[in-house]
Amino acid sequence: MIHRIEVKSKHLDTRAEVRKKQLEQTDFGKKIQQIEIVDVYTLEGNFSEKELQQIANSLHNPVSEIAFINQPAQVNQFDYAIEIGYLPGVTDNIGNTVQEEIEDLLKRKFKTEEHAYSSQITFIQGKLTEQEAIQIGNGLANPLIQRIHIKNFEQFQKQKGMNKIVPKVKLSQETKVDLVKILEMTDLELEELGKKGIQNKDSSRRGPLALSLDYLKTIQAYFKELNRNPTDIELESLAQTWSEHCKHTIFAGPIDELDKGLYKTYIKGATEKIRKEKGAQDFCISVFTDNSGAIDFDENYAITHKVETHNSPSALDPFGGAITGIVGVNRDCIGFGLGAKPVMNQYGFCFGDPKDAQPLYKGANFTQKMLSPKQIMLGVIQGVNAGGNQSGIPTPQGFMYFDSRYKGKPLVFVGTVGLIPKTNKYKKLHEKKANSGEYVVVIGGRVGKDGIHGATFSSEAMDAGSPVTAVQIGDPITQKKLSDAIVKEARDLELYSSITDNGAGGLSCSIAEMAKESNGCFVELNKVPLKYPGLQPWEIWISESQERMTLSIPKEKWEKFEELMNQRGVEATIIGEFMNTGKCEVMFNGKKIMELDLEFLHNGLPKKQLKTTYTKPNFPEPLIQEKENLNSDLLKMIQRLNIASYEFISKQYDHEVQGGSVQKPLQGKGRVNSNATVSKPLLDSDKGVVLSQALYPGYSEIDSYAMAACAIDTAIRNVICAGANLKKMALLDNFCWCSPTESERLGQLKQAVKACYDYATVYGAPFISGKDSMFNDFKGFNEIGESVKISIPPTLLVTSIGVIENCEKTISLDFKTENDLIYIIGETFEELGGSEYYRMIEQGLGNSVPKVNGEKNKQIYEKIEQSIEKELITSAQSIGLGGFGIAVTKMSIAGQLGCEISLHELPGTVFRNEYALFSESQGRIIATINPENKKEFEQTLKGIAFKEIGKVTGNNVKINGLNGKEIANIPVDELTQAYKKTSRDY
Amino acid sequence: MSKTLVLSGYGLNCEQETKQGFELAGGKADIVHINDLINGTIKLADYQILAVPGGFSYGDDTGSGNAMANKLRNHLWTDLVEFVEEKKLAIGICNGFQILVNLGILPGLNNKAGERQVALLHNNTARYTVRWIDLEFQKIKSPWTQNIETISVPIAHGEGRFFAEPEILKSLKAKNLIACKYVQGEICTMQNLESNPNGSMEDIAGITNEQGNVFGLMPHPDRALYFTQLPHWNLLKAQFKLAEKPLPKYGPGLKVFQNAVNYFK
């Protein structure tokens, strides 16, 4: 039996009001008179009348809601009813909670054929056409993961409400293992296999293995030696382990003259050199070897950090991609060592212009329309909101960056900082080892078809009950239970020897990775808990279903571990054993279906020699008419997408949970988004963690070396201005590149990675973790059906993390007191190539990107550290995108105080006022001090370039130019409004 | 010394800072997983104070606090009622408040504990909102609210809009159970923010039961324990330095926890 419980509000439902406001922005929005929202719970199973009544009572609040059992909710007059629910197999968190609530209420478990599902009806009153109603439905739902069902009033009346729909997964095929006859294949057939995947009996293909011909020939040779063909699961497993995603061949492989490759030479190389130079002051604890990197926090604790990207999934399903990203990187924290506790999240989003409404299509003839930049932006923001907030992890630090080249592929960066005791009474907690003879145990969520190599699927097949495989939705609460049980209990009871995350490649990667520790594993796939029956063994092995971790558990500890997990509502299952056989063996239905040498699995892939070329381009500098008054330029600049407020994000990402917030994402009376934030991971300690990041994709096409140098310099400068110091500061690198098969793109990459080495070593800030994502190109069709390729600009995100002794000495950016003196530290040059100012005036990119003088800047940063330590500085801001003019304006807006500035004799070499205001020269800081401290401050800064350039005043930002004449004079109120205007409607 | 039980599990997530509040106030506090209460490993009766902290129990599915309230009702109802009737102290903060409201323990007018009488609905923006607010405590007889006037603390919720039918609201007023209200105070004035952050009826932020021993509120005193948590502490620091005054160490939220701990002294 299928039952439907519909719940509606008795009073004002603000969700409906907000939805109405959003829909009013569409072309036909004026026609919409009223919206009502009804929540629907569909139950499949046998429940008595009395039970249904009890269930309905437990699912609604009688003060504000009415429930209707097996009859449509009585709503006001409407013209269309649009119901949105999930497609079969898509994670339905609400449905799962409803099942748990009913089981607890009725004190019985659901049978396998019993299910609970959630959906929602939007009732619309307004004389819309059917086409318009469909358009609304498409805007509210994502057809990749959701079903939309629309009825007009007559249909609704005639059919007595909406249909009872049960999105149940039905997999009727038998489970079996196929041999792939690779031994006989020609090169052409091998290439086909790599590109399209293993062929089914009906000649359809299972989706790309993404193995190139030379890889497949190596595999062919391996099996020739064994004198047998591989099974499908063996081939899928190799494809996962050898993927660019897992092996990072571009960063690892030999490139030009660098036999050790980019990563070992420049990234790891920098860290090794820095650690050696620091000697006894080395604060690295675990770098590059684990799921996160770790540095020293205090005597007893270490701090971990990791930043991931989740770009492709977010382009398809922004909400699902982003929530899976943030909850996934949390597991890189939980999976560090024997388990770190997530204490801060970090985010960064690169999007196309949200106002860009020109459509893109993946398919020819206007098929497979891409989501618009605005839809992607709002979905991604909402995804990190749900993932971060529900997990109870503060998300203080982040940014948004816009460029039209992210239209085809957004970048979604997500990071997690963790806290882990250095030792427990038994051992060091950052070390782990799965031992031969221990159980392979999986905990957390169950396995479904989610995320199996983004396989394509037809919508017809989806209606027929086959699950959606490409997209996953995170379930933060399942993971929260797992996380609490591991890092707050099991870890300190010493119940397991090793742990890792199930991310890319699912079990195939996590188990094979841990098997390196013991030198072998034996897995029985029948034991893996499934969401629904009928999965093929290779699917179980590589599925990326979320919220799962793999552990190695000594046999004598299993009973206690299992009991604890039961008590905490976490499913734990033994699925095999770690061995010392040198092999990865997998069983299914009593038969061995996989037997691969670990050595071949991990190290069998052939090395590729990469070659690069690099031509430094020369873009002419734009010729700009000199202006006497820059008021309008300043006002336009402060509204630019990359400069304006994104308060609406900071206001919806909980940055206060866990109680450690010190320097917030919104600072001062004017609530300005800050470059850096400070948090206390331990409530009893004064010590803090300073976080920031930087990126300059606008410079990449001009000079990727300078781009990387600026990103590092700015990321470091940002945390310095908040109170961090170079003695205990680490970096993370996230490279998102495009077209890596083109030697010029590789040439840009090599330049950028070399800059990482050069500048990290100058500043003594080691890289502790990183990640790369190489294929960020969109190939498809534009609004008139022409074939287009849109590549992202080469993007390097540098994340900075500093550990500080005393949070009470940290600095916010807002002007504090009238008559405080304003200083600029560092030199200004005419460096506007690729700058926000040049991009605003749209007369060409220019070539004059900022050059970074690391040695000089290092001195500046050390002097600022000393001044902050002596508590001389009352506010500070790093100068970044938009230059001095923007940085000083933000300090004014934040403090809701004006300033009087003179650019006369500005340190550096600059001859024009526009350039003085908007040059993005690196190494510059604005600081204010109490006039009483003038002498001591200037004494401290001795030896570096600095100048007192003005003071904090009443109501206006007033700037006199290089020649002393006024060039800008704007009331702070007006600037505040301009700064907030851009994102006001989000 | 008073012993506080801070509930945890199923997505509650503010247990650590809530515990910190009671301990800074000089009490003792244990974080206890709800399943350890259900299976009897730990007894609620052994404690003097119950704190249901903030969080996202069951991901807010089927209404914030509803699913967790169902679980408590199904398994621990008698223990909870006894605890409250013995005049011990209980507090629900944010999600904890939503849970106590869905359980019908708050406000529990006319001895009808178990009947839901008020609701916390979606914010007027229909969006999760994090910010600081100013909270004016009313003159009522609850031990939780004594000697507190106006304090600034943060909120962080998606469903915090207080709602009650007119006759319930009348009773709450008549019996003096409205514990705290959102007002235009220091923070809202300074940051130019609306005083009522979610559209709550009559600016109601927190209420007590008739006995005054159970207190629930949407704002988070547990997130305002230290001076450096204040959004304007750097500005205050500059002012204190000019006036040559020492910096305070603690924040305004601590008073709530001190009231509870001192009640048992």
Domains of chain A, CATH where assigned: 2-158 (3.30.1280.10), 811-986 (3.90.650.10)
Cβ contact A654–B129 (<8 Å)? no
At residue A670, does pLDDT exceed 60?
yes
At residue A50, does pLDDT exceed 90?
yes
Residue B191 is nearest to which of A662, A669, A811, comparing CB atoms?
A: A669
Cβ contact A659–B222 (<8 Å)? yes
Phi/psi at A760 (nearest 5 deg)? -60, -40
Cβ contact B59–A476 (<8 Å)? yes
User: Whole-model pTM above 0.90?
Assistant: yes
What is the C-alpha to C-alpha distance for residues A325 and A342, in angstroms, rounded to an integer?
14
pLDDT at site A455: 32
A382 CB burial (10 A radius; 0-12, 13-18, 19+): middle
Above pLDDT 90, what percent of chain B? 96
B241 touches chain A (CB under 8 A): yes
Cβ contact A15–B59 (<8 Å)? no
User: What is the three-class DSSP state of A12?
Assistant: coil
List beta partners, residue A149. Answer: A83
Q: At what angle do helices B66-85 and B95-103 cross, to 10 degrees?
A: 70
At residue A459, does pLDDT exceed 70?
no
- Interface confidence: ipTM more than 0.85: yes
Q: Give the confidence band of A962 by pLDDT, cuts at 50, 70, 90.
A: very high
pLDDT digits (tens, 9 = 90+) for A536-553: 899 999 988 888 999 999
> Within a 13 Å sphere around the CA of A930, how many CA atoms are in the beta-carbon half?
15
User: What is the three-class DSSP state of A65?
Assistant: strand
Cα of A449 vs its chain's centroid, Å: 23
What is the C-alpha to C-alpha distance for residues A765 and A277, in angstroms, rounded to an integer?
11
Q: Is the peptide bond before A606 cis (omega within 30 degrees of 0)?
A: no
**What one-character DSSP code corresponds to residue A903?**
-
Report, as an integer, the average pLDDT of A286-294: 92
At residue A909, does pLDDT exceed 80?
yes
Q: Are B2 and A644 in contact (CB under 8 A)?
A: no
Residue A97 is nearest to which of B39, B67, B119, comparing CB atoms?
A: B67
What is the C-alpha to C-alpha distance for residues B61 and A739, in angstroms, rounded to an integer?
43
Q: Are A579 and A522 in contact (CB under 8 A)?
A: yes
At residue A469, does pLDDT exceed 70?
no
- In sequence order, the 6+-apart residues with CB closer than 8 A to the CB of B242 are A817, A930
B248 touches chain A (CB under 8 A): no
**A262-266, A503-507, A870-874, A916-920: which range is least confident on average?**
A503-507
pLDDT: which is higher, A458 or B95? B95
Q: Cα angle at A836 between A833 and A842, to 5 degrees?
A: 80
At residue A312, does pLDDT exceed 90?
no
Phi/psi at A362 (nearest 5 deg)? -80, -35
**What one-character DSSP code corresponds to residue B145?**
G
User: What is the three-class DSSP state of B159?
Assistant: strand
Which has the closest alpha carbon to A538: A237, A933, A976, A139?
Answer: A237
At residue A791, does pLDDT exceed 90?
yes
Kindly report the number of other CB atoms within 10 A of residue A591's CB atom. Answer: 10
At residue A461, does pLDDT exceed 60?
no
What is the C-alpha to C-alpha distance for residues A580 and A435, in angstroms, rounded to an integer?
8
Q: Which two tokens stand for residue A374?
A: 């605005």
Give the DSSP letter string of A951-984.
EEESSEEEEE-TTSSEEEEEEHHHHHHHHHHTTT
Q: Which two tokens stand for residue B185?
A: 């105070």
Nearest-CA residue of chain B relative to A679?
Answer: B229
Cβ contact B156–A100 (<8 Å)? no
In A59-113, which ranges are continuous DSSP H helix? 93-106
- Cβ contacts below 8 Å, chain A against chain B, sum to 198
Closest Cα of chain B to A296: distance in Å?
A: 23
Which has the closest alpha carbon to A316: A262, A380, A254?
Answer: A380
Which has the closest alpha carbon to A449: A926, A906, A91?
Answer: A91
B253 touches chain A (CB under 8 A): no
Cβ contact B62–A652 (<8 Å)? no
Which of B39, B188, B226, B230 is the best mutation test for A, with the most CBs of A within 10 A? B226
> With left for phi above 0 and alpha for psi between -120 and 50, is residue A446 left, alpha or beta?
beta
At residue B198, does pLDDT exceed 90?
yes
pLDDT at site A460: 29
Residue A812 is nearest to which of B116, B225, B234, comparing CB atoms?
A: B234
Kindly report the number of other CB atoms within 10 A of residue A808's CB atom. Answer: 18
Signed CA dihedral, A625, A628, A631, A632: sign only: negative
**A973-977, B113-117, B182-186: which range is least confident on average?**
B113-117
User: What is the three-class DSSP state of A587?
Assistant: strand
Instruction: Spell out which residues of chain B touch residue A876, defining contact as CB-CB under 8 Å.
Output: none
In B108-195, which ranges are continuous DSSP H helix? 166-174, 186-191
Above pLDDT 90, what percent of chain A? 82
At residue A457, does pLDDT exceed 50?
no
pLDDT at site A471: 65
Q: Which two tokens stand for residue A332?
A: 């890189």
Cβ contact A569–B118 (<8 Å)? no
pLDDT digits (tens, 9 = 90+) for A165-191: 888 887 767 888 999 999 999 999 999
Cβ contact A656–B127 (<8 Å)? no
pLDDT at site A966: 97
Q: Which two tokens stand for residue B132?
A: 């600081």
User: What is the three-class DSSP state of A550?
Assistant: strand
User: Can you give the residue range of the structural domain that contains B114?
Assistant: 3-263
Looking only at the bridges linking them, the beta strands covering A34-44 and A2-9 are antiparallel
- Those of residues 148-187 in B touching chain A at CB distance below 8 A are 154, 156, 161, 163-165
Kindly report the number of other CB atoms within 10 A of residue A458's CB atom. Answer: 9
Cβ contact A93–B63 (<8 Å)? no
What is the C-alpha to C-alpha distance for residues B153 and B169, in angstroms, rounded to an integer?
25
Report, as an integer, the average pLDDT of A356-362: 92
pLDDT digits (tens, 9 = 90+) for A722-776: 999 999 999 999 999 999 989 999 999 999 999 999 999 999 999 999 999 998 9
Number of domains in chain B: 1
Q: Are A630 and A967 in contact (CB under 8 A)?
A: yes
What is the C-alpha to C-alpha distance for residues A857 and A923, in angstroms, rounded to an integer?
5
Cβ contact A392–B127 (<8 Å)? no
What is the C-alpha to C-alpha distance for residues A294 and A416, in angstroms, rounded to an integer?
12
At residue A70, does pLDDT exceed 50?
yes
What is the C-alpha to C-alpha distance for residues A232 and A230, in angstroms, rounded to an integer?
7
pLDDT at site B139: 95
Closest Cα of chain B to A868: distance in Å?
A: 13
Closest Cα of chain A to B213: distance in Å?
A: 23
Q: What is the CATH number of the domain that holds B16?
A: 3.40.50.880
The rounded mean pLDDT for chain A is 93
What is the C-alpha to C-alpha distance for residues B241 and A801, in angstroms, rounded to an integer?
29
Q: Are A416 and A487 in contact (CB under 8 A)?
A: no
- Those of residues 50-89 in B touching chain A at CB distance below 8 A are 54-56, 58-63, 66-67, 70-71, 74-75
Cα of A478 vs its chain's centroid, Å: 19
In A146-212, which ranges are continuous DSSP H helix? 153-158, 187-196
B20 touches chain A (CB under 8 A): yes
Which of A8, A54, A97 is the best mutation test for B, with the most CBs of B within 10 A? A97
Which has the closest alpha carbon to B24: B262, B263, B257, B259?
Answer: B257
**What one-character DSSP code corresponds to residue A653?**
S
Cβ contact B199–A97 (<8 Å)? no
pLDDT digits (tens, 9 = 90+) for B238-258: 999 989 999 999 999 999 999
Cβ contact A683–B225 (<8 Å)? yes
Cα of B54 vs its chain's centroid, Å: 8
Q: Which two tokens stand for residue A918?
A: 């908007």
Nearest-CA residue of chain A relative to B199?
Answer: A14
Signed CA dihedral, A976, A978, A980, A981: sign only: positive
pLDDT at site A465: 42
Q: Give the confidence band of A979 by pLDDT, cuts at 50, 70, 90.
A: very high
What is the C-alpha to C-alpha distance for residues A28 and B197, in angstroms, rounded to an integer?
31
Cβ contact B241–A811 (<8 Å)? no
Closest Cα of chain B to A545: distance in Å?
A: 19
pLDDT at site B113: 77
List beta partners, residue A522. Answer: A577, A585
Closest Cα of chain A to B176: distance in Å?
A: 21
Nearest-CA residue of chain B relative to A811?
Answer: B234
User: What is the three-class DSSP state of A233?
Assistant: helix
pLDDT at site A202: 83
pLDDT at site A233: 94
What is the C-alpha to C-alpha distance for residues B84 and B105, in angstroms, rounded to an integer?
9
Closest Cα of chain A to B28: distance in Å?
A: 15
Cβ contact A807–B228 (<8 Å)? yes
Cβ contact A392–B59 (<8 Å)? no
Closest Cα of chain A to B260: distance in Å?
A: 20
pLDDT: which is higher, A436 or A504? A436
pLDDT digits (tens, 9 = 90+) for A598-609: 999 999 999 889
What is the C-alpha to C-alpha distance for residues A411 and A671, in angstroms, rounded to an integer?
26
Q: Are B131 and A652 in contact (CB under 8 A)?
A: no
